[in-house]
Structure 1
Amino acid sequence: MDLKFFKKSVPTLAIMALFSVLMIYAIYTLLTPEKRLPVYNPSDVNPRLVDESIIHIRRNHKIADFSLINQNGDTITQKNYEGKIYVADFFFTRCMTICPVMTNNIGKLQEVFKNDDDVMFLSHSVTPVMDSVSVLREYADKKGVIDAKWNITTGDKKHIYNLSRKSYFAVLDEGDGGLQDFVHTENFVLVDKKRQIRGFYDGTDNEDIERLIADIKILQNEFKD
């Protein structure tokens, strides 16, 4: 091959090679859709988890408005979580079985997303009469809660139990939120910036916690401006 011809051909070959790489990448991107999490409506969930009054709903389910009291005695509503991705759970401070594991795992999640303003956490006491503000404050201090990221809440029992059954689909049993009613669940529920449910996770399982971390990052990509 003529040396001059070879020298002239090198830039052309380089451009062609670069163009080929870009084309392959573009085709791969088009053929590989970005992973998205499902949106859960009542009809998508185990019927035992869903209140009979809403089991027929197939679209547009959102977490209902709420009003709770946190570890500082502040009123916490859906407005505190507006534009946020958050993880919700149900616990009680005197629990000696699954709750300590769950709370420690939310602590791990808090550490992962400590500097990320997009992500928050919301814990609901299922024994709100016993879990007063002072009890929650002591519990929060013991568990290393960052107040700006994680609200540990008490409030009206019927309101909390309605949220667990009609909004978050967090528990299998039925009840009316009365004196003898009691819920106890290991479920973590992932909620997006539109107040839609995007995932359910076992809050006592390390593999599910890793899956939850990955899913939060997927949601963040979905809601990028």
Structure 2
Amino acid sequence: MLQTVFFRSSFWALFMIFSCTGNKESSLPYYNTPDFSPHFLSEKEAEKEITHTIGSFSFTDQDNKAVTDQLINHKIHIASFIFTSCGSICPVMIKNLDILSKKYEKDSDVVLLSFSVTPEIDTPQKLKDFKKSNKINNPNWYFLTGNKNQIYKLARKSYFAEEDIGFTKDSTNFLHTEHIILADQNKKIRGIYNGTLQTDIQQLIKDIQVLKNDE
């Protein structure tokens, strides 16, 4: 009996040590390529095997302030690609993202980035008016504009926004996607969702919580 108790105690002690050292496999996959093949790995394994991260960038937000990739250092962030004159999928995406936004409105460790795919039209003032007209009050939701080539390159090469279909395209091919991308505190891609579906947004909210718990 004592041996059994000792064995169980030892097992759980080892389990806790194993978990706390970051070797526990995450329930969320990592994505390393634009075909979104999932890799279920521990954080330590991911450090070695998942080489893809969100690249550096510098754009301008709705308040005419510079926003760089330093903003998302050690933070969970959600990326979407929209334009203010869109009358089809964008209004639905914004409405659905606002569900998530309201949940994390006071959590500065969760950042939303919405990149304009028509930056030549979407000036900072236009983005500010867009945010106001959609009654978005979350200070951690940034609407970004800037160089079109850089936005499109970031969307396709860093976020795999159109998966492998658009990976080889450039800014002459219009970017219009309902995809929303989840990236973790290390700028690694952990999820892709259909922004027009509330069921996907609810799953996204659950997955954000998984990343917060894994931290």
TM-score in same-fold range (> 0.5): yes
Q: Given the alignment, which residue of 142, 148, 155 partners 2:146? A: 155
> Which of 28, 43, 67 pairs up with 1:37?
28
Question: 2:34, 2:160 within 8 Å by CA — same for their partners in 1?
Answer: no
Q: Distance in 2 between matches of 1:191 and 1:183?
A: 20
Quick one: which of 205, 211, 214 aligns to 1:219?
Answer: 211
1:182 is matched with 174
Residue 41 to residue 35, structure 1, CA distance change in 2 (3 Å)? closer
Q: What CA RMSD, in Å, does the superposition of the two structures yield over aligned residues? A: 2.6
1:169-196, Cα deviation, whole Å (9 max, x unpaired): 0113353213xx3110000000111010
Aligned to 2:202: 210
Mapping for residues 8-23 of structure 1, pairs under 5 Å? none
C-alpha distance in 2 between matches for 1:83 and 1:43: 23
Following TM superposition, the consecutive aligned residue runs of length 4 or more in structure 1 with deviations greater than 3 angstroms are none
Contact 2:105 2:139 in 1 (8 A): no
- Give, in whole Å, the separation in 2 of the partners of 1:59 and 1:136: 34
Percent of residue pairs bearing the same amino acid type? 38
* TM-superposition CA deviations, 1:133-183 (whole Å, max 9, x none): 1110100111223352100011100000001110000113353213xx311
Q: 2-side partners of 1:203 and 1:44: how far apart?
A: 19
The size of the alignment, in residue pairs, is 190
1:146 maps onto 2:137 in alignment: yes
Following superposition, the deviation at residue 101 of structure 1 comes to: 0.6
Question: Which runs of no fewer than 5 residues in structure 2 stay unpaired?
Answer: 17-23, 38-48
Letter in 1 for 2:140: K
The CA deviation at 1:35 is 4.8
Q: Residue 85 in 1 paired to residue 66 in 2?
A: no
Equivalent residues in 2 for 1:4-83 (5 A)?
A: 35-42=26-33, 45=36, 59-83=50-74
SS at match of 2:180: strand
Give the greater-gyration-radius structure (CA).
1
Unaligned runs of 5+ in 1: 1-18, 47-57
